[in-house]
């Protein structure tokens, strides 16, 4: 075969590899926290927890329903609930330092509840950090 054909094929492989590396470099498990503001109602803040499962660039992102989320306060169990079909569960908690435990993925996250917050776990299904 002609050397130019081999060179062209090599370039195509390099370009496809580079695109794959770029696409999967941002594919990782993340926890995003959004301060919703506001003051407590009846001495309690609203904590909205969302769980999304990211199946990669070709699988999309989908909410995870019926996922168990536990809340710990001062290292002791405080409350738990399941996410709805949209991957959302809402807690009403007094101010303080809490630990969220996403049982299905064995992930813990600490949060100081001094306002209303939304915590979103975007779980990379094929690769976890």
Q: Spell out the domains of the chain, with CATH numbers in brackets.
A: 29-124 (2.60.40.10)
Cβ contact 50:88 at 8 Å: yes
Residue 17 scores a pLDDT above 70? yes
pTM for this entry: 0.81
What is the reported pLDDT for 3? 85
Cβ contact 90:47 at 8 Å: yes
Cβ contact 51:64 at 8 Å: yes
What is the reported pLDDT for 1? 61
What is the reported pLDDT for 128? 46
Burial class (CB in 10 A: 0-12, 13-18, 19+), 98: buried
Mean pLDDT of the region 111-115: 96
Q: Whole-number mean pLDDT of the chain?
A: 90
């Amino acid at each position: 075969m002609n050397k130019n054909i081999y060179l062209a094929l090599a370039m195509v492989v390099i370009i496809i590899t580079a695109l794959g590396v770029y696409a999967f470099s941002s594919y990782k498990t993340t926890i995003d926290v959004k301060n919703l503001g506001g003051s407590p109602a009846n001495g309690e803040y609203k904590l909205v927890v969302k769980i999304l499962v990211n199946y990669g660039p070709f699988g999309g992102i989908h909410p995870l329903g019926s996922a168990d989320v536990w809340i710990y306060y001062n290292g002791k169990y405080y409350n738990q609930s399941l996410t709805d079909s949209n991957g959302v569960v809402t807690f009403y908690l007094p101010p303080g330092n809490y630990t969220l435990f996403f049982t299905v993925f064995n992930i813990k996250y600490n949060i100081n509840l001094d306002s209303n917050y939304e915590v979103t776990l975007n779980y990379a299904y094929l690769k976890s950090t």
